[in-house]
Structure 1
């Protein structure tokens, strides 16, 4: 006896905001936020574009929702441990999450993001710093300084034109442009990268330690 035409079909999952955002996040990670459109998202979901507007208002609302998903992946500071350790763990987590979602840093720093995940993230950070002895005003300066390092370092890492394994060869190719007479310090470091005695890698922890140690001088111990 012949099978009915739809006996092997998998039931279509109902469309929801969560499903729309999860699919959009995957597309943004794979192709970048610029390539994400409502039409393409609808095509991947197997629905008509107009049906998306029952779950997201427009592309701005879509991006706000994606930012919320990314921020929710970042580890909140742990109030039960030393504040510097908590801030270091939070910063490492944020850096890792932003590398996992390479498109996300710009929407985070260039938009007014006031979703619950973002507000919880900021308030928990302020609370950790305040509990450590910073005034709320100084805590606001502190977390902004920390996050400026996270975002700036992440963007530089994502957009640097060479992979770490290519540094020595790139240094060798660039050496003729960096004469010892005109640029003695850069010439010295370039030779060290070429001969392998210095890796030339940018160090996230180095900058983070400078900021945390500097901030420690400004707090009033509890």
Structure 2
């Protein structure tokens, strides 16, 4: 359960602390103004003096988790830009594994959290030092996407609570969609380091590697020299 706070001065920071604790312990659906107020031993209306409503609370949670990502990732500096960016993304992922609701609030956010600007500034500085021109640096930001924050996005996330198809249904699927059926039977997702059914660490690392290697090849092509990714 979220930690219970007694006789502490109510503040926006304290409210976000408790909301994060609730999200960590019970999932994002547990974060309501009423639940936070209960944990703080106050009336829900008291929270509105510091946080206008649930949307604002979720925005504050988004900014908080991105701030944690920034805190660990911007300290990373390696011998090459690829290793620097790769390690930053993996460090960001370690943060989200501690707060697995993070991808949900990030992908549903309609505005960039203020803390995210620092992350992008450090990325662009790293790319500029590696010889990226502004155009390629801009493309790199888009290509890396959510991986900068430690996760990859799926257009349709499988419902983990759904029952698997029965044998007869699988036979029909196999007859109509043989490639998909073969893949489903052959590929087993790992469970360690997973943030969702499809976003596992192994797949994250593989995709990140493809993006970074591709960007390095394009950087070297524009510079007229060999790739330095190895």
Fold conserved (TM > 0.5)?
yes
Q: Which residue of 2 aligns with 1:85?
A: 83
Cα deviation digits, residues 157-194 of structure 1 (max 9, x gap) = x944459xxxxxx69957423436x5443454455x3x
TM-score normalised to structure 2 length: 0.70
Q: Distance in 1 between matches of 2:81 and 2:33?
A: 42
Q: 1:18 aligns with which of 10, 13, 26?
A: 13
**Counterpart in the other structure of 1:212:** 212
SS of residue in 2 equivalent to 1:218: helix
Q: Distance in 2 between matches of 1:25 and 1:86?
A: 29
CA positional deviation for 1:151: 7.3
Q: CA deviation at 1:69?
A: 1.5
Query: Matches of 1:130 and 1:44 in 2, distance apart?
Result: 47
Give the direction of change, closer, same or farther, for the CA distance of 1:118–1:200 in structure 2 (3 Å limit): closer
Q: Which whole-Å deviations, capped at 9, do the CAs of 1:7-39 have from their partners, x for residues lacking one? A: xxx962222222111101111233443442222
Q: Which runs of 5+ in 2 are unaligned?
A: 191-197
Query: 1:62 maps to what in 2?
Result: 57
Between Structure 1 and Structure 2, whose CA radius of gyration is higher? 1
The residue aligned with 2:179 is 185
| CA deviations over 1:49-81 (Å, ceiling 9, x no partner) | 232233223333322221121112223243453
- Inter-partner Cα distance in structure 1 for 2:41 and 2:79: 47
Q: Give the structure 1 partner of residue 195 of structure 2.
A: none
Q: What aligned pairs does 1:31-180 form with structure 2 within 5 A after superposition? A: 31-74=26-69, 75-77=72-74, 78-109=76-107, 110-115=109-114, 117-148=115-146, 154-156=152-154, 159-161=157-159, 173=167, 175-179=170-174
TM-score, normalised to structure 1's length?
Answer: 0.72
Aligned residue-pair number: 201
Classify 1:126/1:172 alpha carbon distance in 2 versus 1 (closer, same or farther; 3 Å): farther
Q: State the shift of 1:143 in Å.
A: 2.1
Residue 104 of structure 1: CA displacement? Answer: 2.5
Q: 1:154 to 1:37 in 2, by over 3 A?
A: same
Distance 1:178 1:213 in 2: 36
